[in-house]
Amino acid sequence: MTTTVTSRARLARFRAPGGFLLGAVLLLGVAPLVLPDFRLSLLAKYLCYAIVAVGVSLAWGRGGLLVLGQGVFFGLGGYAMAMHLKLADATAAGETLPDFMQLYGTSDALPWWWEPFRSPLFALVMTVVLPMAVAAALGFFVFRRRVKGAYFAILSQALAAALAIWLVGQQATTGGTNGLTDIQGFFGYDLNDPVNQRMVYLVIAAALLLVMVLARQLFVSRFGELLVAVRDSEERVRFLGYNPANVKLVAYVVAAGMAGLAGALFVPAVGIISPALIGIVPSIGFVIGAAVGGRASLVGAVLGAVAVAWAQSTLSDAFPAAWTYLQGLLFVVAVGFLPGGLASLATLLRNRRTRPDSSGGAV
Amino acid sequence: MKGELKGEGLTVRDLRVTFDGFTAVDGVDLDIRPGDLRFLIGPNGAGKTTLVDAVTGLVKASGSARFGGQELLGRPVQAIARTGIGRTFQTATVFENLTVLQNLDIAAGAGRRWWTMLRRRKEVPEPVERALETIGLSALRDRPAGVLAHGQKQWLEIGMLLVQDVRLLLLDEPVAGMSHDERQATGELLQRISEERTVVVIEHDMDFMRSFARSVSVLHAGRMLSEGTVAEVQADAKVQEVYLGRAAEPVPSEPVATAQEA
Ligand SMILES: Nc1ncnc2c1ncn2[C@@H]1O[C@H](COP(=O)(O)OP(=O)(O)O)[C@@H](O)[C@H]1O
Ligand SMILES: [Mg+2]
């Protein structure tokens, strides 16, 4: 028995790097070769959702935090990136203001809080740091006050709604309902050129792989074990001398950073960021993929996010109303009946075939 | 008063816990010397669990509870835990989805620097290895704690307190639901632990108490009824009346449990 356990453990050690390598080959090698431009840029968009799902897997799957407001962080990252790209577009066109400001603007001056986003470095840093800072501030109060599951989820939703509404109201400085659109260039590269679109895809795919490596390290680290312990019995963890609020905060902030990065990469891939992409409905959408694929499993969450995003763009054009219901149904079924998602289905079936010895074992 | 012992004294004065007007702990004084193996007995609802809850910060209490010169009341649970006080619960609470080893490793880690938390556990830490031996779960180290038998979970909890390196262990009915042999093994384990640390055991079982208690406190209706050695407490008329009498259990004058085992 000992030998089978160790050989299985040895196999498991190669499974992760092997899977990673396979994923890298598929994403960076095969997909760009076989997919036409149009499909590849769709895949780029789905992979952005997958990056959000990696964070959801960490915070919700491992940490038990039902993060129903990831749209906020996705939006902050997206707007930070889009603001820089709009400013760069304007400069390239010889204008002082982005196009929409000339249209709706009440003054000729750039708002002060736009100014720092001229710097590419500042904007890039902000795409991740801004969401993380907001998550840290929110999490600090929420987790310390021991706000429980459902209230945390509602609070997250409220925040997503509030940000979307605020953006809509500030048409002159944020583009309002339209959002920031018509983005032409990406750090000097013309986004209308299909070659550059392919480059954007590669950047996104590489970012996803990187984020997955980071998340996996957190999963297998002592922090990852502690996070599961906090999820399962917060009170018990406290009696061991830890403050569970800090543990949850780390998971929440990292997940927010990933959502911010995803939002930032979404902008060059799709050419737009708008309130409709970050409010309540998309925020729920961000967790559905992870729920369906398996929120506690990194690969499950990623594949689930891509699959759901693909289904959405395929079905929502044909049956726009039906998709909303289907989405809700998927969520309920996944959370209620298959908490481990599709990723757990394989294990479930395997266990059914070969019952594990459930005897307690002798001391 | 500090010796070679890792244990430290617990001093409780006029402790009072009230739930919506109902006083569950009603002005309790309690002195536990370092290295004691104290049994806290009393009928159901006497306030034993609530007393431990108050000392460990789980419920609000008035009065004073000092450990190693520090006041405990009013501090958060995790701060009290870090002064070196650990507890178990009436229903064993281990992290069911984590392995035995992971449970112990987490218990050992509250003092770890945060950056070491981001690394994977490379080897089994020495105290964890020792605790696995002590509680007899070495062979089950890679099993999820959820599949352990009831008694094994209780042992795992005690093991977690050992690696946590607490100086005072507060154990809430650790042998409830255990077989006679398991009780015997647990009692001997507690005696060994109390050579280095201070142990307080909440228990119902009189045989178990007689076999292993070094001193006894009897709680009744939120008040301290009697304190002393096993013999003293058993001789106390008040105790016989409210506790032993009600338990409808003959009180043998000689300890029996130790004679059966060898
Ligand atoms: N959270 C609570 N709210 C209200 N009453 C409680 C609470 N916890 C315990 N009690 C009451 O306090 C008394 C003491 O309970 P407890 O300390 O659990 O007794 P013991 O552990 O000695 O059996 C009981 O009457 C119980 O009903
Ligand atoms: Mg009790």
Query: For residue B124, is it within any domain?
Result: no
The Cα–Cα gap between A64 and A229 comes to: 10
**Ligand 1 center from residue B226 Cα (angstroms):** 20
The atom number, within ligand 1, closest to the CA of B47 reads 17
At A362 the pLDDT is: 31
Among A65, A48, A55, A47, CA closest to A216 = A55
The nearest alpha carbon in chain A to B133 belongs to A363
- Residue B127 near residue A258 (C-beta atoms within 8 A): no
At A123 the pLDDT is: 97
The domain locations on chain A are 36-277
Query: For residue B221, is it within any domain?
Result: yes
- B219 φ/ψ angles, rounded to the nearest 5 degrees: -105, 140
Query: For residue B257, is it within any domain?
Result: yes
Query: For residue B111, is it within any domain?
Result: no
At A331 the pLDDT is: 83
**Could you give the 3-state DSSP secondary structure of residue B99?**
strand
Nearest to B98 among A5, A225, A362 (CB): A225
- Exposure string over B117-146, b if 16+ CB within 10 A, otherwise e: beeebeeebebbbebbebbebeebbebbbe
- Exposure string over B75-88, b if 16+ CB within 10 A, otherwise e: eebbebbbbbbbbb
ipTM above 0.95, yes or no: no
Q: A297-333: per-residue pLDDT in tens?
A: 899 999 999 999 998 888 877 787 788 788 888 888 8
Among B160, B153, B149, B194, CA closest to B174 = B153
The Cα–Cα gap between B168 and B65 comes to: 13
The pLDDT confidence band at residue A148, using thresholds 50, 70 and 90, is: confident
Average pLDDT, chain A: 88
The Cα–Cα gap between B260 and B262 comes to: 7
Q: A50-92: per-residue pLDDT in tens?
A: 999 999 999 999 999 999 999 999 999 999 999 999 999 999 9
**What's the CATH number where B65 sits?**
3.40.50.300
Q: B97-153: per-residue pLDDT in tens?
A: 999 999 999 999 887 877 788 888 888 888 999 999 999 999 999 999 999 998 899
- Residue A174 near residue A117 (C-beta atoms within 8 A): no
Nearest to A360 among B109, B117, B152 (CB): B152
Q: In this structure, which long-range contacts are made by residues B69-77, counting pairs with CB atoms below 8 Å and at least 24 apart in sequence?
A: B76/A238, B76/A243, B77/A235, B77/A238, B77/A239
Assess A5–B contact: CB distance below 8 Å, yes or no.
Answer: yes
Return residues 200-219 of A near B (CB < 8 Å): 217-218
In this prediction, residues A156-170 reach a mean pLDDT of 94
Residue B84 is classified by DSSP as T
**Could you give the 3-state DSSP secondary structure of residue A186?**
strand
Assess A222–B contact: CB distance below 8 Å, yes or no.
Answer: yes
Specify the pTM. 0.87
In this prediction, residues A231-235 reach a mean pLDDT of 91
At B40 the pLDDT is: 94
Assess A148–B contact: CB distance below 8 Å, yes or no.
Answer: no
The pLDDT confidence band at residue A1, using thresholds 50, 70 and 90, is: very low
- Residue B229, domain extent: 10-93+167-261
Number of folded domains that form chain B: 1
Least Cα separation, residue B242 to chain A (angstroms) = 33
**Ligand 1 center from residue B77 Cα (angstroms):** 19
The Cα–Cα gap between B103 and A236 comes to: 11
At A9 the pLDDT is: 65
Assess whether pLDDT exceeds 80 at residue A4: no
At A363 the pLDDT is: 29
Six token digits for residue A92:
């390239």
CB spacing of A225 vs B105 below 8 angstroms = yes
In this prediction, residues A214-219 reach a mean pLDDT of 95
Nearest to A228 among B78, B98, B152 (CB): B98
At A352 the pLDDT is: 64
Query: For residue B5, is it within any domain?
Result: no
CB spacing of A235 vs B137 below 8 angstroms = no
At A5 the pLDDT is: 52
**Ligand 2 center from residue B53 Cα (angstroms):** 10
Average pLDDT, chain B: 86
The Cα–Cα gap between A81 and A189 comes to: 15
- Residue B26 near residue B16 (C-beta atoms within 8 A): yes
Using 70 as the pLDDT threshold, list the residues of chain B that sit under it.
1-8, 243-262
Residue partners of B130: CB distance under 8 A and separation at least 6: B162
Express as a percent the part of chain A with pLDDT over 70.
Answer: 92
Query: For residue B232, is it within any domain?
Result: yes
Assess whether pLDDT exceeds 60 at residue A40: yes
